[in-house]
Structure 1
Amino acid sequence: MAICKVGPFGHPSGKIGNMVFYMLNGQAVCRSKGKPGKPSLKQKANQEAMKLTMELLKPMKDFINVSFKQESAGSIKNPHNLATSYNKKQALTGEYPNIKVDYNEVILSRGTLEMAEDLKVSKGVEGLDLSWDSGIKENGAADDILMVLVSHPTKKRASTFLNAAKRADGSCFIPLDREWMMTEQMEVYVCLKSSNEKLISDSAYVGNLNGAPDSPLEKAEKMKFFAIKARFDQVAADYEKKKMDYAEGVIGTKAFRYLEKEYQVLRDKLKHLPGKPS
């Protein structure tokens, strides 16, 4: 049962039929309740995209709460809502069921503060060495603060440094205290915030370290390639041996023609099959 506290023309609160009414951040919200039907292909794609976005952003909560704080202020959206909206649209690539994260397109802040240029990252001893151009062309200050986020996708974790250095420093060291951090996939992002935290820059992708593991699709393609390659090697050896016999006039059978046909089909398939080692 729903209640209208301000009369019949006010916003209800509660359940009416299969609809639930409530207030969220000062806004009246209505959602349906009940068992959903079988999802369409488009719905499945949307669900997969949302799942990937949530998995990406969940470890980044501490960073996002600061980086999107100013943009979310005074709106009905919180920092996580903004990060989800940006990255679900911008940071995913591919078609369902092969959607994946494009780490180069991840957005972790939006703002007008000037971002540093010539960003570089490399592995140091027990951590990362970051450097950047400390100069200012338009708007910014020497005491702007560098925020750093290191994403560890294979572990579904992130390392957050909200006050890593000042713009004027031009470089800093990011300590990583777990042994696996230095060998697993790392995606590095930074942004700058003013010392009074009223201004922030767009985030910047600094780069990848240690590469990235194969996706399920890429693993399946490689397994298929190597299975066909193994069959081709077996057929090719048999074909070359019997071709010599055929040239000497020893055989000219239907079995040889079938073997020759399989050899040609497998050879042509391997030329265009995905999953070939680079």
Structure 2
Amino acid sequence: MAKALNGPQGHFNGKIGKLVFYMLNGVPVVRLIGRPGKPSKAQLANHSTMSVTSRFLGTMKDFIKLGYGLQAKGTTRNAHNLATSYHKKHALIGEYPNIKIDYSKVVLSEGTLSVAEDLKIVKTEAGLEISWNPDFQQGKRNYDDSVMIMVHFPESNTSRDYLNIARRSEGKCFLGFMEQQLEQQMEVYIAFRSADGEQISDSVYLGNLNGQKPTKEELHNQYKYESVKERFDRVAKMYLDQCKGTNSEPTNNKAFRHLQKEYEVLKEKLDRTPGKPG
């Protein structure tokens, strides 16, 4: 049941039939609900891109809130919406069901503030040394900009953010890590934010450390894919042999129809199972 809180000419709040009315960031919204049918491959691909993007961005919510917050001001969207939209369109590689993040194309903040030159990153026995040219533009007070750094660990899908690790004028900072963390794959980003919070720079990808390594999820998907493929290959051989008439089994009985159904189900499952080599 929906309620007309502002009278018969106002916006409803609640459910009417298959429609749900509600407010989103001060804007009246209505959407259709109902039992969905079997999703198409295009729908599954869209769900997969959303899942990969959300899983990645979900580890760095505070950074994203600052990085896209200024863009979201005065609109019906929030920082997470903007970041999700960008990364779904520009920072994914591969085809469904093997969709991954392209870390070199990740942008964790967007703005007009200038970034520093001569950005460098060095791994030491105790952590990461990050440096930049501390020169600033006279009269624009860029010297007291805050330095923001994000370090993402794909293997564990975790992130560590540093939202005010240094000032632009310092020209360098140090991030301490345990030995185990220093051996993991790391993807590092930097951005600059004005002291009054009214400006922010585009983030810059500082690079990858320790190379790319398979995550636990990727290893699990590879094992699952290989298991399905092994079963499919066996069933496919039996099915295709009977279709070609290379054995004495008839092709119009219940056993054959069952084999045909299993072949079709496994073929579709294999097509939708992530973890395919290459």
TM-score between both structures, scaled by the size of structure 2: 0.74
Q: Deviation string for 1:208-263 (max 9, x for gaps)? A: 1111124749x96xx99xxxxxxxxxxxxxxxxxxxxxxxxxxxxxxxxxxxxxxx
Per the TM alignment, residue 72 of structure 1 is displaced from its structure 2 partner at its CA by 1.6
Q: Counterparts of 2:68 and 2:44 in 1: how far apart (Å)?
A: 29
Per the TM alignment, residue 146 of structure 1 is displaced from its structure 2 partner at its CA by 0.7
The question of whether the paired residues in 2 share the 8 Å contact of 1:67 and 1:200 is answered with yes
> Counterpart in 1 of 2:79?
79
Per the TM alignment, residue 95 of structure 1 is displaced from its structure 2 partner at its CA by 1.4
Per the TM alignment, residue 140 of structure 1 is displaced from its structure 2 partner at its CA by 6.2
Letter in structure 1 aligned against 2:115: M
> Counterpart in 2 of 1:148?
149
Per the TM alignment, residue 179 of structure 1 is displaced from its structure 2 partner at its CA by 3.5
> Counterpart in 1 of 2:106?
106
Per the TM alignment, residue 125 of structure 1 is displaced from its structure 2 partner at its CA by 2.9
The question of whether the paired residues in 2 share the 8 Å contact of 1:114 and 1:140 is answered with no
> Counterpart in 1 of 2:59?
59
Gaps of 5+ in 2: 227-275
Q: Counterparts of 1:132 and 1:2 in 2: how far apart (Å)?
A: 57
Q: Deviation string for 1:161-195 (max 9, x for gaps)? A: 0111111211110122x442111111001100011
Query: Over aligned residue pairs, what C-alpha RMSD do you find?
Result: 2.5
> Counterpart in 1 of 2:15?
15
> Counterpart in 2 of 1:189?
189
Per the TM alignment, residue 51 of structure 1 is displaced from its structure 2 partner at its CA by 0.3
Identity of aligned residues (%): 47
Letter in structure 2 aligned against 1:159: R
TM-score between both structures, scaled by the size of structure 1: 0.74
* 1:42 aligned counterpart, secondary structure: helix
Alignment of 1:209 with 2:192, yes or no, is no
The question of whether the paired residues in 2 share the 8 Å contact of 1:191 and 1:203 is answered with yes
> Counterpart in 2 of 1:45?
45
> Counterpart in 1 of 2:198?
198
- Structure 1 residues 168 and 13: CA distance shift in structure 2, 3 A: same
Per the TM alignment, residue 117 of structure 1 is displaced from its structure 2 partner at its CA by 2.0
> Counterpart in 1 of 2:247?
none
- Which protein has the larger Cα radius of gyration, Structure 1 or Structure 2? 1
Q: Counterparts of 1:50 and 1:12 in 2: how far apart (Å)?
A: 30
* 1:154 aligned counterpart, secondary structure: coil
* 2:10 aligned counterpart, secondary structure: coil
Q: Counterparts of 2:142 and 2:42 in 1: how far apart (Å)?
A: 47
Q: Count the aligned residue pairs.
A: 224
Q: Counterparts of 1:117 and 1:191 in 2: how far apart (Å)?
A: 12
Q: Counterparts of 1:173 and 1:142 in 2: how far apart (Å)?
A: 18
Gaps of 5+ in 1: 225-273
